[in-house]
Amino acid sequence: EDKVVQSPLSLVVHEGDTVTLNCSYEVTNFRSLLWYKQEKKAPTFLFMLTSSGIEKKSGRLSSILDKKELFSILNITATQTGDSAVYLCAVEPPFGNEKLTFGTGTRLTIIP
Amino acid sequence: ETGVTQTPRHLVMGMTNKKSLKCEQHLGHNAMYWYKQSAKKPLELMFVYNFKEQTENNSVPSRFSPECPNSSHLFLHLHTLQPEDSALYLCASSQDQRGTDTQYFGPGTRLTVL
């Protein structure tokens, strides 16, 4: 069975700090790895990663996938209180016939 | 049984049929959600219920009709669907409808509309 593990489960940092969230997976085959920010009601899409070693950036957020070591990281620099959320990592199966496999999430709290 | 369960796991229906998707959570949560996952698209939020009250309808066509009889059960009634409605429909629940509550997802119902 596919498995996605995120660490840490919870993280509390001060505003302005840089954080790195980890996602490791045990998946035999997948089409993409997705990062979501779950802030209010529903996960908000952040990144879709399909190729190993290519960093994707969006403002203060960046993410990279390592298919050899089977993990992905999400970096947030110069954190702000608005970054407080649960960050979810998910793996998309190759043929779109099955559900996303979600990780447990990392609860990030930014202290002013 | 624990966690979030969904039935059926697979459903094939014609455009004139009426069917219902069922979601049940055994986590004591107060908020429940319906999502649509289409191929090559991120998750799309459809409906949110908090304490059995619908708090969000994300511009979903009326051919999708949700029902939440209690905090543990959520239904999605389907009628006169279109082929483009074929997708994976995911149910989720969380303790409350707050920003920091983790949502727990069910296995999904794979819907095919012919």
Task: Supply the pLDDT for residue A97.
Answer: 47
Q: Does A38 touch chain B (CB under 8 A)?
A: yes
Task: Supply the pLDDT for residue B2.
Answer: 60
Q: Does B41 touch chain A (CB under 8 A)?
A: no
Task: Supply the pLDDT for residue B99.
Answer: 47
Distance, CA of B56 to CA of A91 (rounded, Å): 27
Residue B42 is nearest to which of A45, A96, A109, comparing CB atoms?
A: A45
Residue B39, pLDDT above cutoff 80: no
Structure tokens at B109: 């119902």
Tally DSSP H helices, then E strands, for chain B: 0, 11
Cβ distance B108 to A40 less than 8 Å, yes or no, reads no
Cβ distance B35 to A42 less than 8 Å, yes or no, reads yes
| Percentage with pLDDT > 70 across chain B | 89
Tens digit of each residue's pLDDT (9 = 90 or more) over A9-34? 999 999 999 999 999 998 777 778 88
Task: Supply the pLDDT for residue B101.
Answer: 59
Quote the strand ranges of B43-108, DSSP E.
44-50, 53-57, 64-70, 73-79, 87-94, 104-105
Residue B52, pLDDT above cutoff 90: no
Angstrom CA distances, B51 to A63, B33, B72, B93, B97, stand at 36, 12, 10, 11, 9
Tens digit of each residue's pLDDT (9 = 90 or more) over B66-103? 999 998 999 999 999 999 999 989 998 888 765 445 67
Residue A41, pLDDT above cutoff 80: no
Nearest residue to A87 via CA among A34, A13, A32, A36: A36
**What does the H/E/C string look like for B101-113?**
CCCEECCCEEEEE
Distance, CA of B65 to CA of B6 (rounded, Å): 17
Average pLDDT, chain B: 86
Average pLDDT, chain A: 86
Task: Supply the pLDDT for residue A34.
Answer: 87
| Percentage with pLDDT > 70 across chain A | 89
Distance, in angstroms, between A2 CA and closest chain B CA? 13
Task: Supply the pLDDT for residue A1.
Answer: 64
Task: Supply the pLDDT for residue A99.
Answer: 61
DSSP secondary structure code for residue B95 in this structure: S
Task: Supply the pLDDT for residue B106.
Answer: 85
| pLDDT bracket for residue B40 (50, 70, 90) | low
* Out of A19-28, A79-88, B42-51, B83-92, least confident range: B42-51
Distance, CA of B31 to CA of B54 (rounded, Å): 10
